[in-house]
Amino acid sequence: MNRRLMLGGLAIGAGALILLAPLAVRQFRLAEQRRMVERLEWAALRQQPRPVGPGQTQVTPPGQAPATEPEPPGAPTPATPEPDPEYLIEIPKLGVRYVVMPTIENDDLARGPGHYPGTGLPGQPGNAAIAGHRTVKGIASYFYNLHLLAPGDTIIVRYPDSTLTFTVERVFITGAYDLTVLAPTPYPALTLTTCDPPGTDEHRLIVQARLD
Amino acid sequence: MRQKVLFWLSAIILAAGAVLPAAAAAAADWPAYGAGAVGAAHFAVSRRVSTTDDPSTAQPVATVRGGGAVYYFYTVYNTGTVPLTITSAVDDRLGPVDFSPATVPPGGTATAYKMKEHPAAAGVAAETGLVTVLATAEGRPLPPGIASATVVSLGQGGCCGWSATPPAPPPSGDCHTPSFPCQPRGGLSGRICAPGAPGAEILAVGPGGATTSVTIPSNGQLGYWRNWVLGNLVPGLWQLTLKVPGKPAATQTVTVSAGATSQVPDFSSACTGDATNHGSTLAGALLIAAGAAVLAWRRIRPV
């Protein structure tokens, strides 16, 4: 009798574990993202950006040195710091903030949205592209609600020392092989890609935004 | 007068009859190749190669794989009827050659050998060398004797970058044809989004219509990159076509470089389509149902 009780309990427990595993993985990833966001925000606080206007912080595209007073002649030239590719993307309409991973490799995309290598960083001239999973094991993930964006919505990109605001211009669906969405643009643009319909590899949902 | 004319005519005919056969015999003694001769003095030369130091294994052509020692065996055969003195011998690849003995009696031979380390070739390298032997007989110099042999060096992997066994039959113009200036093969590697059932195929068409393909079978999962590799490709422009059932074909043209594996750009944007694993969902549900059934059966059993 006790053996049957144990067997039944074990079966129910194992079944529940299997069913809940994807949810647990999702929660683990989201918690990891929260930690990364907090770390980046803490790093931004330590940068103490200089305000340039009411309610705004200085906007400095990555890779460009912030405007500073001219150095006196003969002053030692400081070493030029490498641009920090780590940045955060915030979509106010969807209420999400994610740290963007440096690549679109499998491991990075599992941890968060990933930056397409070969495309510029947001704010630089050209098209910065970011990919994100819409579902993970069938459960809603980073870019699940991306289809709710519409032209005019804002996407915010935060670097430790600057903040950029992009305005959505287009939201559309295209084929998986359409690589024109990653093509460079003559102006600083931001492109988000994810799968469509959710949980399939049929098409891609594209959100294109432009730097304000 | 008439008798005098007949006398001189007969003398000329007799002289011609004696000289012409001797001249014809002398001309017939000249060998066709690789030998020097004057009158009854003539000789022959051979240059043979082997990957072992055993002269009996030496051949006009030797093949060395992945680099290593090659032994060069030289022989001068005195095929004449007078002693022969070797005055000089030079291999255009290896330098002076010292024959022993330097004086060769009629019917005798003089030999020499050299050894050279051949580095591993990137593909196939054929090296033909000539040895030129000068000799004298009875103080008179003889025409030079010349002989050649060829060493074919293959890369570490064998022939033309084939990793193991060359394909059969070898394609036309392949490195198995000795005269073909062989070029190392190249490769391509890339990644595609994990395909659904039944899988995907990448078809590659290269220079001269060469065709190959790689199949990426489905494993039931989506939403991640899967790597693929194509090897043994002739250097040049290749057109790749990605075929996924239910999707339009995607093509791109890439360059295969000799001796290198080139990275192919992605066919698609990032792999973000991750599907529900219905198998694990079903397994979990069945386990819960089974456990519940076991517990319920225990509860109702006393009744």
Give the DSSP H/E element, type plus range, for residue A111: helix A106-111
DSSP symbols for chain B: -HHHHHHHHHHHHHHHHHHHHHHHHHHHTS-SSSEEEETTEEEEEEEEEESSS-GGG-BSEEEEESSEEEEEEEEEEE-SSS-EEEEEEEETTTEE---BSSEE-TT-EEEEEEEEEEPPPSSEEEEEEEEEEEEEETTEEPPPEEEEEEEEEEBTTBSTT-SSSPPSSPPTT-TTSTTS-----EEEEEEEEPP-TTEEEEEEE-GGG-EEEEEEE--S--SSEEEEEEEEEPSEEEEEEEE-TTS--EEEEEEEPTT-EEEPPPSSS--------HHHHHHHHHHHHHHHHHHHHHHHTT-
**Segment among A53-62, B64-73, B132-141, B205-214 with least mean pLDDT:** A53-62
CB–CB contact A16 B284 (8 Å): yes
How near does any CA of chain B get to the CA of A151, in Å?
22
Among candidates B194, B291, B298 on the partner chain, residue whose Cβ is nearest the Cβ of A12: B291
Tell me whether strands A127-131 and A189-196 are parallel, antiparallel or unpaired: parallel
Find the CB nearest A18 among B193, B280, B297. B280
The DSSP output letter for A132 is -
Query: B87 pLDDT exceeds 70?
Result: yes
User: Residue A173 pLDDT > 90, yes or no?
Assistant: yes
The confidence score (pLDDT) of residue B122 equals: 54
CB contact under 8 A, B274 and A106: no
- Computed over every residue of chain B, the mean pLDDT equals 76
Range A37-62 average pLDDT: 57
Which is more confident, B242 or B209?
B242
Token pair 């490799």 in the structure block, residue? A105
Token pair for residue B7? Answer: 């006398």
Residue A109 has pLDDT above 70, yes or no: yes
**Tens digit of each residue's pLDDT (9 = 90 or more) over A126-151:** 999 999 999 887 788 899 999 999 99
Count of C-beta atoms within a 10 Å radius of residue B53? 12
Among A27-31, B30-34, B248-252, which stretch is predicted with the lowest mean pLDDT? B30-34
Q: Which residues of B fall within a CB distance of 8 Å from A177? A: 242, 247-248, 250, 267-268
Q: How confident is the model at residue B39 (pLDDT cuts 50, 70, 90)?
A: low
Q: Do B291 and A15 touch (CB under 8 A)?
A: yes
- Is residue A178's pLDDT more than 60? yes
pLDDT digits (tens, 9 = 90+) for B7-21: 565 555 445 444 443
> What pLDDT shows up at residue B29?
33
Residue-range domains of chain B with CATH? 30-154 (2.60.40.10), 186-263 (2.60.40)
> Which domains are assigned to chain A?
2-58+83-211 (2.40.260.10)
Count of beta carbons in the 10 Å neighbourhood of residue B202: 22
Q: Do A134 and B281 touch (CB under 8 A)?
A: no
Nearest to B193 among A22, A181, A201 (CB): A201
Tell me which of B241, B266, B274 to substitute to probe the interface with A (most A C-beta atoms closer than 10 Å): B274
Whether B246 shows a pLDDT value over 90: the answer reads no
State how far residue B206 is from chain A, nearest Cα, in angstroms.
22
Residue with more model confidence, B280 or A67: B280
Contact partners, residue A135, CB within 8 Å, separation at least 6:
A141, A144, A195, A198, A199, B274, B275, B276
pLDDT per residue over A77-101, tens digit each? 444 333 446 899 999 999 999 999 9
Looking at the complex, report in whole angstroms how far the Cα of residue B241 sits from the nearest Cα belonging to chain A.
Answer: 12
Rounded distance between C-alpha atoms, residue A42 and residue A27, angstroms: 22
Residue B278: CB partners within 8 Å, gap ≥ 6?
none
Instruction: Answer yes or no: are the C-beta atoms of A157 and A164 closer than 8 Å.
Output: yes
The larger pLDDT score, comparing residue A192 to residue B207, is at A192
Mean pLDDT of A171-175: 94
CA dihedral angle for residue B132, residue B137, residue B140, residue B143, rounded to 10 degrees: -30
CB-CB under 8 Å, B269 with A179: yes
Q: Is the pLDDT confidence value at A31 over 70?
A: yes
From A79's Cα to the closest Cα of chain B, the distance in A is 34
User: Are B276 and A14 inside 8 Å of each other by CB?
Assistant: no
**pLDDT tens-digit series, residues B135-171:** 998 888 888 898 888 887 765 444 444 333 333 434 4
pLDDT digits (tens, 9 = 90+) for A53-68: 333 444 444 444 444 4
Residues B169-197, mean pLDDT to the nearest whole number? 63
How large is the C-alpha radius of gyration of chain B? 38
Report residue B273's pLDDT band, with 50, 70 and 90 as the boundaries: confident
- Residue A192 pLDDT grade (very low, low, confident, very high; cuts 50, 70, 90): very high
Mean pLDDT of A42-50: 63
SS3 A143: coil
pLDDT of residue B301: 59
| Mean predicted lDDT score pLDDT of chain A | 81
